[in-house]
Amino acid sequence: MSTDDGEGGVLLLLGINHARSLYEADLAKHDIQQRLGLRQYNIGCERAARGQNGVTGDLIDR
């Protein structure tokens, strides 16, 4: 175990940067999940508008 204060500061800085990266990655993951969900919803609406899957287009207007 080192008593060098500089080394501990570097480790703390690395820890903060790592935590920030994980936080930003989680935000990006959440954004991607939302966009994928919206895309799947839009595909379902497009199919409904074309009368596919036994759904008529008039259901979209409701």
Q: Which structure tokens are listed for 29? A: 């993951």
Task: State the Cα–Cα distance between residues 47 and 50, nearest whole angstrom.
Answer: 5
User: pLDDT in tens for each of the 62 residues of the chain?
Assistant: 455 555 666 667 777 777 788 788 887 877 877 877 777 777 777 777 877 655 555 555 44
Indicate the burial class of 44 (C-beta count within 10 angstroms; 0-12, 13-18, 19 or more).
Answer: middle
Q: How much is the pTM?
A: 0.38
